[in-house]
């Protein structure tokens, strides 16, 4: 089951009915550490479970540490018993001691790290990050003979209805029909004429396919597209797309995957789509910095951004993925409104506010403009 932003929002606004154990595992079997006799994620999980029990001794909870310990033992036991296909490339699991919440997601895009949290609410920020990076993207697979449509979301690729447009000769005869012609020079002309007419037909085919694709993309509601094919075909196809559809193209992949299985397509396009996401996010940060400098609807720095989040004014929140802002540097009224979070939980509270107000959220590493802005920026609604 693909995780939707609506389900993440439901988790973020869940009324506290007791503490929740949130577990994220980076189980990607392609990672070197996970190929060992004892996979790296197993060691990390055990360390995280020990740490969460240790931290619980310093916090007041309605469930005693012994109850938490039983829950942690169950998590380790049950996860180790899962089949590799059930662990996927990552796992997210939310559960409570009274079983009022027990929901597990198999992920085909791995979370940034293995971690465990014990809190009054589900710990959703890693899931929000996955949803943001894995935003649905239409894949347009191209060749000179066919156009195939697929959809990528959070590492999974599936096929919509009516996905294929194929080149068909119709009444045209195959070149083999000319092989026995007695006049070689005339045969040469026939070959040239045939080739020219094939080229003209392919151009018409690309135009027709681009028009049909544009309608299909609009009907499916795809707002991001990636073109996959040899440059001469992809460029010719893109030039024939209507402007409002061509503007949705966020990436191109120079390879022919037209008849590949969805899993192979997903593996091939993932790095390109991740690069596209980084470019989009960095462009957003740069725009927010310029807008804030001009006194427009943008905010920079944790104090200002958190204040805007509490007012429900944030449309898109972007922060450094490794951010650990100090709550003691915030104004008292902001700390109180956030429930006096620890340094470990401050970013999580910001994400909860953003998601509950239907704002978009992105976490990025290594962005210079964001670092200069204090590690966080927000595009505001007003």
Instruction: Verify that 220 and 199 share a domain, yes or no.
Output: yes
Token look-up 């609604």 returns 381
pLDDT at residue 176, as a whole number: 37
Give the end-to-end CA distance of the chain in Å, rounded to a whole number.
Answer: 36
153 in any annotated domain:
yes
Clarify whether residues 235 and 253 are in a common domain: yes
pLDDT at 175: 26
Q: Which of 198, 225, 260 is the last residue of a domain?
A: 260
Look up the CATH number of the domain holding residue 27.
3.30.960.10
Tell me the angle at which helices 5-12 and 125-133 cross, rounded to the nearest 10 degrees. Answer: 160
Residue 176 DSSP code: G
Tens-place pLDDT, residues 90-121: 999 999 998 899 999 999 999 999 999 999 99
Q: Position of tokens 């790296």?
A: 40
Q: Are 95 and 14 a contacting pair, CB within 8 Å?
A: no
Among the candidates 77, 105, 133, a domain finishes at 133
pLDDT of residue 249: 97
- Point out the domain boundary residue: 133, 151, 179: 133
* SS3 track for 282-315: HHHHHHHHHHHHCCCCEEECHHHHHHHHHCCCEE
pLDDT for 166 equals 77
Tens of pLDDT along the chain (382 residues) come to: 578 889 999 999 887 677 999 999 999 999 999 999 999 999 999 999 999 999 887 765 555 556 899 999 999 999 999 999 999 999 999 999 988 999 999 999 999 999 999 999 999 999 999 999 999 999 999 998 889 999 999 999 999 888 888 766 432 223 233 334 344 444 444 555 656 666 777 778 888 889 989 999 999 999 999 999 999 999 999 999 999 999 999 999 999 999 999 999 999 999 999 999 999 999 999 999 999 999 999 999 999 999 999 999 999 999 999 999 999 999 999 999 999 999 999 999 999 999 999 999 999 999 999 999 999 999 999 9
Same domain flag for 129 and 238: no
Q: Which run of H or E residues covers position 34? A: none
Q: How many other C-beta atoms can be found within 10 angstroms of the C-beta atom of residue 275?
A: 12
**Structural domain includes residue 268:** no
- Tens of pLDDT, residue by residue over 312-370, are 999 999 999 999 999 999 999 999 999 999 999 999 999 999 999 999 999 999 999 99
Reading the block at residue 191, the tokens are 């070959």
The DSSP code for 175 is G
Question: Do both 249 and 315 map to the same domain?
Answer: no
Q: How many domains does the chain have?
A: 3
- Residues 165 and 94 reside in one and the same domain: no
In this predicted structure, what is the pLDDT of residue 274?
Answer: 96
Name 316's Cβ contacts closer than 8 Å, sequence gap at least 6: 284, 359, 360, 361, 362, 378, 379
Residues in contact with 299: Cβ distance below 8 Å, sequence separation at least 6, in sequence order:
288, 292, 305, 307, 308, 314, 377, 378, 380
10 and 128 in a single domain? The answer is: yes
Parent domain of 317: 279-380
Residues 151 and 99 reside in one and the same domain: no
| Residues 6 or more apart whose Cβ sits within 8 Å of residue 97 | 18, 19, 63, 67, 68, 70, 71
- What's the pTM value of the predicted model, to 2 decimals? 0.86
Q: Is-contact 268 253, C-beta < 8 A?
A: yes
273 belongs to a structural domain: no
Burial category of 155 from C-beta neighbours within 10 Å (exposed 0-12, middle 13-18, buried 19 and up): buried
**Position 271 in a domain:** no
């Amino acid at each position: 089951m693909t995780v939707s932003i609506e389900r993440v929002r439901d988790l973020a606004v869940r009324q506290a009915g007791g503490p929740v154990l949130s577990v994220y595992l980076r189980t990607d079997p392609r990672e070197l550490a996970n190929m060992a006799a004892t996979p790296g994620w197993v060691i990390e999980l055990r360390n995280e479970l020990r740490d969460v029990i240790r931290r619980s001794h310093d916090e007041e909870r309605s469930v005693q540490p012994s109850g938490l310990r039983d829950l942690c033992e169950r998590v380790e036991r049950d996860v180790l018993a899962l089949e590799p296909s059930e662990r996927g490339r990552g796992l997210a699991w939310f559960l409570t001691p009274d079983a009022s919440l027990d929901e597990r997601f198999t992920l085909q895009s791995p979370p940034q790290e293995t971690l465990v949290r014990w809190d009054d609410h589900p710990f959703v920020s890693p899931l929000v990050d996955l949803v943001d990076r894995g935003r649905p993207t239409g894949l347009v697979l191209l060749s000179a003979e066919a156009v195939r449509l697929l959809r990528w979301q959070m590492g999974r690729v599936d096929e919509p209805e009516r996905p294929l447009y194929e080149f068909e000769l119709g009444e045209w005869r195959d070149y083999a029909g000319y092989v026995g012609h007695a006049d070689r020079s005339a045969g040469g002309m026939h070959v040239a004429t045939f080739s020219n007419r094939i080229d003209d037909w392919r151009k018409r085919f690309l135009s027709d396919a681009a028009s049909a694709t544009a309608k299909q993309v609009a009907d499916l509601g795809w707002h991001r597209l990636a073109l996959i094919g040899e440059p001469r075909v992809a460029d010719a196809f893109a030039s024939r797309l209507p402007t409002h559809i061509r503007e949705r193209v966020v990436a191109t992949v120079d390879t022919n995957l037209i008849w590949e299985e969805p899993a192979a397509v997903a593996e091939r396009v993932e790095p390109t789509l991740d690069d596209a996401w980084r470019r989009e996010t960095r462009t957003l940060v740069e725009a927010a910095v310029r807008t804030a400098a001009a006194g427009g609807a943008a905010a920079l720095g944790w104090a200002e951004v958190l204040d805007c989040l509490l007012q429900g004014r944030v449309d898109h929140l972007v922060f450094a993925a490794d951010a650990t802002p100090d709550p003691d540097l915030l104004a008292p009224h902001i700390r109180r409104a956030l429930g006096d979070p620890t340094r470990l939980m401050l970013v999580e509270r910001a994400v909860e506010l953003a998601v509950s107000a239907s704002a978009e959220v992105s976490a990025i590493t290594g962005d210079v403009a964001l670092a200069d802005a204090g590690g966080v920026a927000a595009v505001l609604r007003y």
